């Protein structure tokens, strides 16, 4: 687990933007689990060199521009990193259009590539969820998980969320509309799943890996066709050189099931469809993503560690 002592806060002067560059004032940064993997030399998403600025997706507003594509006042999304102001080439940024009912921070939340679009791609493009499916989501009270629960409900599935603690389980049922919730910290996940889904599970959206993955494999629908979607495995990110794989993978063969991983960037052709469905759900009030806001940028390391101790609900963001 990283500690505060591993990070430093530096003050630096920014040069004026060169041709094709802008300076954006960072509004909201998304604190995502993949960032942890860039701080390890086993790097699953490449390793950040020591001394560099921590990578993070964010939204911000252009305050200086030497670009023909982006003007002062434009809202932009991209790799703004853990800092208060970002100097970036216009081609690295995407212009976004906040509107009534859709705040700028939604572009790192329900409409964010690593949050809502990840949920949509995993559940719909990869998991091929159908009306009436029994869907199980791990890490269900987090950013991606909260979106998966609501998208699965919107598609007519029966949804069971797995999260740590009674408060998160109440959130899943009372706030997000999940049909059932399992507190993995109480133990007995396999037995609790057997009770909640007596005929078996059709789709498992896995954010956590480890023992939870095995517990679900043991409860896949016996009559066949279940889809296990590997989105992530946050229980393994502190020891990527010694990952615990599924012991019960033979259930896939026994139950004529499949397991498939994905990375959201490989499905960019589906993002417009995903954004359109999510925007509609946001505007109609059928979907929401609460933010857990940490201020200011010097709290970024602490926020990153919160992902691993489960202290947030919904989308964890830093407002620099």
Ligand X SMILES: NC(=O)c1ccc[n+]([C@@H]2O[C@H](COP(=O)([O-])OP(=O)(O)OC[C@H]3O[C@@H](n4cnc5c(N)ncnc54)[C@H](OP(=O)(O)O)[C@@H]3O)[C@@H](O)[C@H]2O)c1
- Is there binding between residue 161 and ligand X (CB under 6 A)? no
Instruction: Measure the CA–CA gap between 312 and 320, rounded to whole angstroms.
Output: 18
The rounded Cα 61 to chain-centroid distance in angstroms is 23
Nearer of residues 143 and 318 to ligand X, judged by Cβ: 143
Contact track, ligand X, 225-264, x by CB under 6 A: ------xxxxx--------------------------xxx
What is the spatial distance between Cα 27 and Cα 61, in angstroms, rounded to a whole number? 7
Under the criterion CB under 6 A, does residue 178 sit at the interface with ligand X?
no
307 binding ligand X? (CB under 6 A):
yes
**Could you tell me the sign of the dihedral formed by the alpha carbons of 124, 46, 217, 225, in that order?**
positive
Nearer to ligand X, 70 or 217 (CB): 217
168 touches ligand X (CB under 6 A): yes
Q: Count the Cβ atoms, other than its own, within 10 Å of residue 230.
A: 18
Residue 250: Cβ within 10 Å count = 10
Least distance to ligand X, CB of residue 10, Å: 25
| 3-state class (DSSP) for residue 221 | coil
Q: Please choose, out of 10-18, 99-107, 220-228, 303-311, the segment that lies near ligand X by the rule CB under 6 A.
A: 303-311
Indicate which single residue of 143, 151, 169, 203 sits in contact with ligand X (rule: CB under 6 A): 143
Tell me how far, at minimum, the Cβ of 214 lies from ligand X, in Å.
13
Q: What are phi and psi of 191, to 5 degrees?
A: -70, -40
In this chain, which stretch among 9-17, 68-76, 81-89, 138-146 interacts with ligand X, using CB under 6 A? 138-146
Phi, psi of 29 (to 5 degrees): -115, 140
Name the residue number minimizing CB distance to ligand X. 142
Q: Which residue from 145, 161, 246, 301 is in contact with ligand X, where contact means CB under 6 A?
A: 145
Q: How far apart are CA 204 and CA 25, in angstroms?
A: 39
From 60, 78, 139, 246, residue interacting with ligand X (rule: CB under 6 A): 139
- Using CB under 6 A as the binding criterion, the count of chain residues that bind ligand X stands at 29
Cα 184 from Cα 166, distance rounded (Å) = 10
Binding mask 96-135 for ligand X (x = CB under 6 A): ------------------x---x-----------------
Shorter beta-carbon distance to ligand X: residue 62 or 125: 125
b/e map of 127-159 (b: 16 or more CB within 10 Å)? bebeeebbbbbbbbbbbbbbbbbbbbbbbebbb
Closest alpha carbon to 263 in 37, 85, 41: 37
**Contact status: 208 vs ligand X (CB under 6 A):** yes
Residue of the chain from 7, 249, 271, 308 that contacts ligand X (CB under 6 A): 308
Check residue 90 for interaction with ligand X (CB under 6 A): no
Instruction: Say if CB 211 and CB 12 are below 8 A apart.
Output: no
Which residue has 């932009």 as its token pair? 76
CB 155 within 8 A of CB 135: no
Q: What mask of x and - would describe binding to ligand X in positions 17 to 56, judged by CB under 6 A?
A: ---------------xxx----------------------
Supply the minimum distance, in Å, between the C-beta of residue 207 and ligand X.
4
- Provide the edge-to-edge strand list for the sheet that holds 227-230: 180-183, 158-163, 134-138, 203-206, 227-230, 258-261
* 160 contacts 200 by C-beta, under 8 angstroms: no
Nearer to ligand X, 225 or 310 (CB): 310
**Residue ranges binding ligand X (CB under 6 A):** 32-34, 114, 118, 139, 141-145, 163-164, 168, 207-208, 231-235, 262-264, 307-308, 310, 312, 316
């Amino acid at each position: 687990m990283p500690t505060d002592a591993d990070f430093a806060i530096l003050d630096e002067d920014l040069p004026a933007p060169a041709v094709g560059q802008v300076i954006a004032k960072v509004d909201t940064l998304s604190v995502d689990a993949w960032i942890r993997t860039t701080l390890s030399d086993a790097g699953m998403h490449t390793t950040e060199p020591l001394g560099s600025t921590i990578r993070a997706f964010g939204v911000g507003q252009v305050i200086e521009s030497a670009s023909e594509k982006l003007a002062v006042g434009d809202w932009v999304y991209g790799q703004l990193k853990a800092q208060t102001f970002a100097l970036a080439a216009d081609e690295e940024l995407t212009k976004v259009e906040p509107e009534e009912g859709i705040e700028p921070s939604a572009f790192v939340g329900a409409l964010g590539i690593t949050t809502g679009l990840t949920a949509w791609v995993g559940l719909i493009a990869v998991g091929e969820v159908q009306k009436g499916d029994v869907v199980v989501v791990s890490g269900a009270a987090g950013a991606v998980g909260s979106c998966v629960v609501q998208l699965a409900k919107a598609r007519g599935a029966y949804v069971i969320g797995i999260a740590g603690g009674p408060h998160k389980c109440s959130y899943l049922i009372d706030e997000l509309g999940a049909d059932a919730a399992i507190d993995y910290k109480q133990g007995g996940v396999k037995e609790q799943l057997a009770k909640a889904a007596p005929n078996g599970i059709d789709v498992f959206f896995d954010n956590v890996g480890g023992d939870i993955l095995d517990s679900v494999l043991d409860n896949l629908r016996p009559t066949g066709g279940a889809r296990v979607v590997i989105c992530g495995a946050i229980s393994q990110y502190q020891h990527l050189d010694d990952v615990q794989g599924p012991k019960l993978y033979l259930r896939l063969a026994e139950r004529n099931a499949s397991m498939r991983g994905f990375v959201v960037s490989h499905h960019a052709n589906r993002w417009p469809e995903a954004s359109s469905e999510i925007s509609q759900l946001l505007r109609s009030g059928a979907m929401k993503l609460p933010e857990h806001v940490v201020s200011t940028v010097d709290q970024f390391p602490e926020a990153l560690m919160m992902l691993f101790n489960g202290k947030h609900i919904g989308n964890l963001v830093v407002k620099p």
